[in-house]
Amino acid sequence: DVKVTQSSRYLVKRTGEKVFLECVQDMDHENMFWYRQDPGLGLRLIYFSYDVKMKEKGDIPEGYSVSREKKERFSLILESASTNQTSMYLCASKPSGLAGSEQFFGPGTRLTVL
C-alpha cells in the first residue's frame, strides 16, 4: 500500500528555533513536494525535488530550505522559525514521467510557532 509519512502530527516551537520536518515515502517516487496549507489560501508550494539532491523553489520559499539526500526522504527546514510560519505542512510524492499521475500526500504536520 502506498505510503507517505511525516515525522510529527503536531509540533510546537519557539520563535528563532531551527525546525526540521521530515517526510518519507515508500513508493520509489522521484518527485517530492512540500506544501503549506492555510485557511482560505489552499495549498501553496514551498519547494519540490525531482531527484536526489535536486530541488526547485516553489511559490513561497522564503524562510525555508530543503534537503534530499536519499530518494525516499525529503526534509523541510525552517532556519529560524517565526510566528508567521505557524501552519499545516503537507508533504507529497509522485512518480515522474506520467503527467496525469496523482500526488500522494502525508498526514500533515501542524506546526505552531510561539
Partner 1 sequence: AQTVTQSQPEMSVQEAETVTLSCTYDTSESDYYLFWYKQPPSRQMILVIRQEAYKQQNATENRFSVNFQKAAKSFSLKISDSQLGDAAMYFCASPEGIQGAQKLVFGQGTRLTINP
Report the residue number, 33 or 81, with the smaller CB distance to partner 1: 33
Report the residue number, 81 or 111, with the smaller CB distance to partner 1: 111
Q: Looking at 45, 63, 72, 73, which residue binds partner 1 (CB under 8 A)?
A: 45
63 sits near partner 1 (criterion: CB under 8 A): no
Query: What is the bridge-based pairing of β-strands 73-78 and 19-25?
Result: antiparallel
Asked if residue 85 lies in contact with residue 45, where contact means CB atoms within 8 angstroms, the answer is no
Q: Looking at 16, 52, 107, 114, which residue binds partner 1 (CB under 8 A)?
A: 107
Site track 25-44 with partner 1 (rule: CB under 8 A), x = hit:
-----xx-x-x----xxxxx
CB of 100 to partner 1, least distance (A): 4
108 sits near partner 1 (criterion: CB under 8 A): yes
Report the residue number, 16 or 107, with the smaller CB distance to partner 1: 107
Asked if residue 103 lies in contact with residue 93, where contact means CB atoms within 8 angstroms, the answer is yes
CA dihedral sign of residues 86, 13, 11, 4: positive
CA distances from 2 to 22, 29, 68, 103, 109 (A): 17, 11, 20, 11, 19
CB of 93 to partner 1, least distance (A): 12
Question: What is the distance in angstroms between the CA of the first residue and the CA of the last residue of the chain?
Answer: 37
